[in-house]
Chain A
Amino acid sequence: MKTYKMSKDRFPEFIELIKTKGQLFGPVKGNGHYSFEKIEKFEDLDFDYQRTVIGPKKFLTPSRYPTLRYDKTGQSDVFVSDEPQIVIGVHPCDIHGINILDRLFLGNIKDPYYEKRRNNLIIIGHSCFPDENCICKSTGTDMVEDGFDLFFTELEKHYLVWVGSDKGLSIAIEAENLLSEEISEEDIQDYVRWQQKRSGMFKSEIPSFKYLADIIHLNYDSKVWDQFGEKCLSCGTCSLVCPTCNCFNVEDRINMNAEDGYRERILDSCTLPYYSMVAGNHDFRPDRTARLKLYYTHKLKEYIGKWGQPSCVGCGRCVTFCPVDINVITVSEALFGEVCENQEVCD
């Protein structure tokens, strides 16, 4: 991996440069919350943010998009245009989220709609400092080694720019008058100090996250799920804000002329009623408890069995946005709490 240094005052020039490569998106503050929006000028960007409501998954699995158009004469697939989309300011947790989506959509069977969007997407990461809802240290996703094209670590006086792909390298080569390859001893010390400072800022941790999957498995019939099921609003917010949740529903939409129409993918949530309904109106998860349990056991346990890691990247969105405080922290605390209470082993 190649690493460069960039003086902070050259950053606006860099933004101007990458704007010529395609549509640029980045973190923007509006109405009290952050979101990835189209960037017209450098001043629109605000990198001093913890999390957007919806992560960069919105560029890969948008909330709704057509996959097929049809009329009386036939049908054709709908793909996005080839214009590159560049998203800047993506935090390590969200890059881990994209890596998880890549594994799902670009595995043995490639999803052509996702693949096209992913090939068009240039990811430029940005370092961050955690708030009290960030749990990426526990999930091991506070640092990121791959999945980005470029990654900017913001130190006191300058940026360290890490190159993560060929695409990233060609941008870096084009921006060579803004970048320096000379990284001094002092720069390295700056970086270590920055790492130590960041590491000390984490306030939330799930100490036993490593064997949380085992606890979920061993304590599968826990009463904790009923308590959360009573509280859950079945509103689906947790799924939609989660950077790795990607379930979608498929609907045919016929236009008013009743002659042509399109097929659409719409993001879904396993916490909604009928999510698990199959042919013959059989619904094997009719109640909230069963659905919520599915959400968390899939995310924190089943996923490990298949991919070797949970599909939680510790971004803290469920912690921030669930209106009734059901999230990875409260669920794991409750599950451990119950074990501790029963067996008096946790003191």
Chain B
Amino acid sequence: MWKREKKPVVGVFGFSGCAGDQLAILHMEDELVDFFTSADIKFFHMAQSHQEVEHVDIALVEGSINTDKQLAELKEIRKKADIVVALGTCATHGGIQYLGDNEKEFEERMLLVYGKDGKIPEFSELVGNPIPAKPIHKFIEVDFSIPGCPIAKENFIPIYTKLISGLKPSKYPYPVCIECKFQGNDCFLLHGEYCLGPVTAGGCDACCPTFGVPCVGCFGAYEGANFESMIEKLIEIGLTEEDAKRKLMMFGGEATELALKGEK
């Protein structure tokens, strides 16, 4: 028989993203009461109005870092937290906003999007100065990563509950294909349709392929991904190399980018 000394203090913090991961937590309606009672939730922008906390045992951090102000806040969170968990593909891989990285120089992109009279306007203090979007592990040490766009509760709960119970979640990467075959699905790639299942981290129960939609890779790169072979396969089914790489980069973030450059 085991007993916890006291409830761990948990904070849910959000940076750049659609806030879908915070929403995904609030969407776990069957588990919501337990979520707010099994731990002491001290900071949760989307759910609480009280927003100050000195120390958290576990920080769940959503979103990528897009401004210098966010960067400073992120570093504060690291100081306050014993365990930092990157929550969702934006925090773990950089998310869709990483996509533009390196296609053009950052200044050039800023001008293209926000430019006025050939100049980038000043950004208010509330927002901070923009920097290229990056996953949080580029700036601070991250203890655990739970990818997803948004996170899937089947994947989130077992990792989270181990953390609040003082246990170490096991890290065992597998691709979407594993869960796809758990569902007994056929394979898109065998029928000349693109699907990024083999290079994408699992955890979603292969919900898209199960409903007849190919995987677009929203959980980010799978640790054992073989990008070279994947690109060859995509070319074989009729994509150009450029298209194949663009599809891989949509949610692939830095891990995919490095792999495509052969730096992995």
Chain A positions within 8 Å of B, measured between CB atoms, are 31-33, 35, 52-54, 58, 63-64, 72-74, 230-237, 240-241, 249, 251-259, 261, 267, 269, 272-274, 288, 320-321, 323-324
| Residue from A53, A235, A254 whose CB has the most chain B CB atoms within 10 Å | A235
| Residue from B4, B175, B184, B228 whose CB has the most chain A CB atoms within 10 Å | B184
Partner-contacting stretch, out of B103-111, B135-143, B157-165: B157-165
Interchain CB contact (< 8 A) of A256 among B31, B191, B230 = B31
Contact assessment for A235 and B161 in the assembled complex, using a CB-CB cutoff below 8 Å: no
A53-B184, A324-B233 in contact; A261/B161 too (CB < 8 A)? yes
- B172 interface residue per 8 A CB criterion: yes
- B37 interface residue per 8 A CB criterion: yes
Q: For residue B30, which residue of chain A has the nearest CB?
A: A256
Contact assessment for A63 and B199 in the assembled complex, using a CB-CB cutoff below 8 Å: no
Contact assessment for B184 and A54 in the assembled complex, using a CB-CB cutoff below 8 Å: yes
Contact assessment for A254 and B161 in the assembled complex, using a CB-CB cutoff below 8 Å: yes
Interchain CB contact (< 8 A) of A321 among B35, B173, B187, B229 = B187
A31-B186, A258-B161 in contact; A230/B178 too (CB < 8 A)? no
| Residue from A53, A234, A249, A261 whose CB has the most chain B CB atoms within 10 Å | A234
Q: For residue B189, which residue of chain A has the nearest CB?
A: A323
Contact assessment for B161 and A255 in the assembled complex, using a CB-CB cutoff below 8 Å: yes
Contacts of B170 in A (CB 8 A): 251
CA A240 – CA B28 in complex, angstroms? 30
Contacts of A32 in B (CB 8 A): 186, 191
Query: Within the complex, what minimum Cβ distance (angstroms) separates B165 from chain A?
Result: 5
Contacts of A261 in B (CB 8 A): 161
Contact assessment for B162 and A233 in the assembled complex, using a CB-CB cutoff below 8 Å: no
Contact assessment for B35 and A73 in the assembled complex, using a CB-CB cutoff below 8 Å: no
Contact assessment for A232 and B184 in the assembled complex, using a CB-CB cutoff below 8 Å: no
Contact assessment for B226 and A236 in the assembled complex, using a CB-CB cutoff below 8 Å: no
A33-B186, A323-B189 in contact; A54/B181 too (CB < 8 A)? yes
Contacts of A267 in B (CB 8 A): 178, 182
Contacts of A321 in B (CB 8 A): 186-187, 190
A240-B181, A267-B182, A324-B233 in contact; A234/B38 too (CB < 8 A)? no
Interface residues of B in 222-247 (CB under 8 A from A): 223-226, 228-230, 232-233
CA A241 – CA B184 in complex, angstroms? 9
A31-B212, A324-B233 in contact; A235/B198 too (CB < 8 A)? yes
A257-B34, A273-B223 in contact; A323/B178 too (CB < 8 A)? no
Interface residues of B in 129-180 (CB under 8 A from A): 157-158, 160-162, 164-165, 167, 170-175, 177-178
Q: For residue A249, which residue of chain B has the nearest CB?
A: B172
- B1 interface residue per 8 A CB criterion: yes
Contact assessment for B175 and A234 in the assembled complex, using a CB-CB cutoff below 8 Å: yes
A240-B178, A324-B233 in contact; A58/B190 too (CB < 8 A)? no
